[in-house]
């Protein structure tokens, strides 16, 4: 099996700081943010300078390290640290990887007395684990192909969204290297254009044949037989297999179901939230109206217009052909397969 390699690093610890690739500036330029205080990481997560469920989990872990360092200079180190953890955890509410990482780091803090070195070791271990999960996902993904096909994807799930080669993008990249994929269609992903700005950039850098399309073009390409399977990520998966992902995913799943096209969700085990019985319990982040109105450029409305801007929607498990994680390919009935895989 030919194994894909990461071309960029969305998040890493270098020296004594957390370095984040500023994704708000891609594809125009590659610029890094050097974060030496946990609030700088929180700000980067909120403004989407770093994004993607696994990547913000890794970034959140490094933010906890910075919080522990800052707590050493406070009159109430424990109180400061706990408040910082809450702030980090709540930077974005839908992607469960962030809260999962914070709680994992909290456990280490409790057992080591908030030792920054022990916390940094754990954050690095968490990062390395995500890298390995990505590779395992790509390996399992090859089992889904019995011929060479063209596929569609949505939002961004590659190097920029994870600690390694990516989830759905890593699977697609691995399948392409092993002659299972001939072309990739990436939806633009309104309103912030993660597909057009980020996924197209990653496809270009990795020399994978692709075409960027508007979100409302995908169904017609399915009807024409030009998109033969869909692979995309998730920010939280409930115990029954319902999956929250970037807004617009649900519509894509409905179109895929109508056209008889396999629809796969690809995510690591850290994205599953077994405390939630179904997707109706997943909190959905609401974002600023400016993200939608920005498409007007300078042609702004005479007064602020009412805008509905949820960052995510939930795809019911009945529309999902399979869920690929580092432990294998899960299929319906998802309550049983998820419980069996995650223990």
* Catalytically annotated residues: 235
Distance CA 167, CA 157 (A): 6
Contacts 24+ apart (CB under 8 A), 29-35: 35/62, 35/63, 35/66
Chain-centroid distance of CA 51 in Å reads 7
**101 within 8 A of 61, measured Cβ to Cβ:** yes
The secondary structure of residue 115, as a DSSP letter, is -
CA-angle at 9, arms to 176 and 170, nearest 5°: 20
Which of 340, 328, 315 has the alpha carbon at shortest distance from 171? 328
Cα–Cα distances (Å) from 270 to 33, 99, 313, 326, 332, in that order, read 25, 10, 19, 10, 20
Q: Cα(149)–Cα(255) distance, rounded to whole angstroms?
A: 18
**Burial class for 178, CB neighbours closer than 10 Å (0-12, 13-18, 19+):** middle
Query: Can you say whether residue 118 is alpha, beta or left, with left for phi > 0 and alpha for psi between -120 and 50 degrees?
Result: alpha
For residue 236, which phi and psi values (nearest 5 degrees)? Answer: -165, 135
């Amino acid at each position: 099996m030919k194994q894909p390699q990461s071309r960029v690093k969305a998040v890493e610890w270098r020296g004594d700081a957390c370095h984040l690739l500023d994704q708000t500036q891609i594809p125009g330029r590659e610029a890094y943010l050097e974060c030496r205080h946990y609030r700088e990481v929180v700000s980067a997560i909120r403004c989407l300078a770093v994004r993607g469920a696994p990547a913000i989990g890794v970034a959140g872990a490094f933010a906890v390290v910075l919080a522990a360092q800052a707590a050493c200079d406070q009159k109430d180190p424990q109180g400061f640290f706990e408040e910082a953890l809450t702030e980090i955890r709540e930077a974005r509410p839908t992607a469960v990887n962030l809260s999962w990482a914070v709680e994992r780091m909290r456990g280490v803090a409790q057992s080591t007395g908030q030792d920054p070195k022990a916390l940094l070791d754990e954050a690095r271990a968490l990062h390395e684990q995500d890298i390995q999960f990505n590779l395992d996902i790509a390996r399992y993904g090859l089992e889904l192909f019995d011929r060479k096909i063209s596929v569609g994807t949505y939002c961004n799930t590659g190097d920029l969204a994870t600690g390694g080669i990516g989830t759905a993008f890593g699977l697609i990249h691995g399948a392409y290297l092993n002659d299972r994929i001939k072309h990739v269609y990436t939806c633009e992903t309104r309103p912030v254009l993660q597909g057009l700005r980020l996924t197209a950039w990653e496809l270009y850098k990795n020399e994978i044949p692709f075409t960027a399309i508007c979100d409302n073009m995908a169904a017609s390409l399915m009807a024409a037989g030009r998109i033969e399977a869909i692979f995309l990520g998730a920010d939280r998966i409930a115990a029954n297999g319902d999956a929250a992902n970037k807004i617009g995913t649900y519509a894509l799943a409905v179109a895929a179901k109508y056209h008889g096209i396999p629809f796969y969700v690809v995510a690591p085990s850290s994205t599953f939230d077994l405390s939630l019985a179904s997707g109706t319990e997943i909190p959905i982040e609401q974002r600023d109206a400016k993200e939608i109105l920005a498409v007007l450029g300078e042609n702004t409305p005479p007064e602020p217009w009412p805008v509905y801007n949820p960052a995510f929607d939930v795809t019911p498990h009945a529309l999902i052909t399979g869920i690929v994680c580092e432990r294998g390919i899960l299929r319906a009935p998802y309550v049983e397969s998820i419980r069996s895989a995650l223990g």
